[in-house]
Amino acid sequence: MIKKKPILEPVKNGREEIIQLKDLCKRYKMGEEIIQAVCDVNVSIYKGDFVAIVGPSGSGKSTMMNMVGALDLASQGDIFLDKIDIEHLSESKLAQIRGKRIGFIFQTFNLIPTLNALENVALPMIFQGIPRNRRIERAKKLLVDVKLSHRMYHLPNELSGGERQRVAIARALANDPEVILADEPTGNLDSKTGEEIMDMFMDLNNKGKTVIMITHDHELAKRAKRIIRLKDGRVISQE
């Protein structure tokens, strides 16, 4: 059965939607059981938004982020990124969109342990075909921007947790993406370092980046412009 492409709704209140989730569901099969991770999610995220997605463990936060970030496809419904229905793209096209338009930041940093900070930041640019001299130049600038100019040639195990997260932020910005997706970005950090990382997200948002942050920390969520609350895979409120 051919899946029909839904018609996009017009821009509301003069704000341009960069991400739309329409009637989104995700189901997993575990043995004989079907697990409904998210169900009937309808969310619009606008350019320049800073959105916090909150909810208890198992509420579907990370599943929702994976689908927004084109890391996973929906069982039902549609995902639009800047009016492109990513559910209908080939894997190669999907990889290109992920690499160019979305920057990922994870709780566990996900740095390559055998690469130094500079090499980790430059890595995503390889897959976009950017020449080496430009990769190194931009990676150095990004590490200066996150105040790590003195740690460029250090391996991840030679860096503190906060420094590793700063490297991860610089890496997420390597291809100048429109959207930053952060999954529990302060979860492995002390409160002071976590506040510093949040200040960096606020600054990125003030410079025009769309930031989507998954968090269980309600105090951090209050610093976002919007809060989307999930429970049992469903959106229960949008503030």
**How does the average pLDDT of the chain come out, rounded?**
89
Q: What is the CATH number of the domain that holds 133?
A: 3.40.50.300
Segment holding 206, helix H or strand E: helix 191-206
pLDDT in tens, 205-239: 999 999 999 998 888 899 999 999 999 999 999 88
* 181 domain-assigned: yes
pLDDT band at 90 (very low <50, low <70, confident <90, very high): confident
Given this model, what pLDDT does residue 14 score?
61
In this prediction, residue 65 carries a pLDDT of 87
pLDDT confidence band for 107 (50 / 70 / 90) = confident
What pLDDT score does 5 carry? 46
Question: Quick check: is 38 in a domain?
Answer: no
- Asked if the structure places residue 77 within a domain, the reply is no
**Prediction pTM value:** 0.88
Tell me: pLDDT of 63 over 80.
yes
* Residue 92: pLDDT band with limits 50, 70, 90: confident
Dihedral class, residue 189 (left if φ above 0, else alpha if ψ from -120 to 50, else beta): beta
pLDDT band per the 50, 70, 90 thresholds, residue 13: low
* Most confident stretch, 53-62, 96-105, 142-151, 192-201: 142-151
Residue 154, in any domain of the structure? yes
pLDDT at 11: 47
Q: Is the pLDDT of residue 57 over 80?
A: yes
Tokens of 216: 């269980």
When pLDDT is averaged across residues 60-74 and rounded to a whole number, the result is 86
DSSP structure class, residue 239: -
Rg (CA), the chain: 18
CB atoms within 10 A of CB 91: 9
Q: Would you say residue 168 lies in a domain?
A: yes
Which run of H or of E encompasses 196? Answer: helix 191-206
Q: Range of 158's domain? A: 48-70+87-238
pLDDT confidence of residue 4: 47
Asked if residue 5 belongs to a domain, the reply is no
Domain count, the chain: 1
